[in-house]
Amino acid sequence: MTILALVFCIGAGLYFANGKPIAAGILLMIGGFFDILDGAVARENGRVTVFGGVLDSVSDRYADAAVFIGIMWGGYSAILPYIENDWVVSAVALVGSLLVSYSRARAEAAGTGKLAIGVAERAERMILIILGAFTGLLNWAVLIVAVISHLTVLQRMIATYRILQKR
């Protein structure tokens, strides 16, 4: 199911790139459903593995990249008139999305314990993109994702610093 979720998200990226945001939003919803379902099914059947968690996390990063690259390609992040290249906001959102996950993984590896801090987990980011796709406000959704992703990274860095200073 993890791979199926990834396939749907890649499809969403392709639809964004080809100017079909509604179809992309639908595929993104389906991909999100399978992403939620895969972990639940593994837990229900007692088949949770460390590799499964790693595969899920890596697949999510590829899915994020596919979606934001599709948005960039489709030109849906043009929002600020003084930015000549309309892909910049999507690139900032993509980097923020990747760093949200990386900052958590790196902090936990450094010994913080589970670090579930921040306003922009993956589900929240994808919900914003889906809503933007359905409402015609995708450019604003991408801008919001760009801002809250980096805010989440900042929140995690502050929390990590505080936790590690106590050691």
38 is catalytic: no
Tokens 């993984």 correspond to: 105
User: Do the Cβ atoms of 96 and 129 come closer than 8 Å?
Assistant: no
Q: Which residues contact 129 (CB under 8 A, 6 or more apart)?
A: 25, 28, 67, 71, 138, 141, 142, 145
Written as six digits, the tokens of 103 are 């900052």
User: Which of 35, 60, 64, 86 is labelled catalytic?
Assistant: 60
Q: What does each C-alpha distance from 3 to 35, 38, 56, 126 come to in angstroms?
A: 9, 9, 8, 17
Measured CA to CA, the distance from residue 166 to residue 99 in angstroms comes to 24
Q: What does each C-alpha distance from 105 to 19, 54, 136, 142 come to in angstroms?
A: 34, 11, 34, 24
Grouping H, G, I as helix, E, B as strand and the rest as coil, residue 90 is helix
* Residue positions annotated with a catalytic role: 60
